[in-house]
């Protein structure tokens, strides 16, 4: 379960950086045309990654 959340979090952060249009890890994210969506996607990715590291310990 941790691996899935970590992979999803990393994919979200990468998609936020490049503005969407990402096909990775068997999922596809459309191109994001608004800055608030990119920020929200990055925040969700960081939250997923942070959650994984909080629950590992």
Using CA atoms, how far apart are residues 57 and 52, in angstroms rounded to an integer? 9
Assign 18 a pLDDT band (cuts: 50, 70, 90): confident
Per the document, the length of the chain is 57
The per-residue pLDDT for 43 is 94
> Which structural domain, as residue segments, surrounds residue 16?
2-56
Cα-only R_g, the chain: 11
Mean pLDDT of the chain, nearest integer: 83
The per-residue pLDDT for 25 is 65
The structural domain count of the chain equals 1
Using CA atoms, how far apart are residues 39 and 51, in angstroms rounded to an integer? 18
Q: Which two tokens stand for residue 19?
A: 């503005």
How much is the average pLDDT of 47-56? Answer: 89
Helix (H) or strand (E) holding 34: none
Q: How far is CA 49 from the centre of its chain?
A: 8
The per-residue pLDDT for 50 is 92
The per-residue pLDDT for 56 is 79
The per-residue pLDDT for 31 is 79
């Amino acid at each position: 379960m941790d691996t899935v959340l970590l992979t999803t979090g990393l994919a979200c952060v990468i998609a936020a950086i490049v503005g969407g249009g990402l096909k990775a890890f068997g999922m596809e994210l459309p191109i994001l045309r608004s800055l608030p969506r990119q920020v929200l996607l990055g925040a969700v990715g960081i939250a997923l990654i942070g959650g994984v590291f909080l629950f590992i310990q």
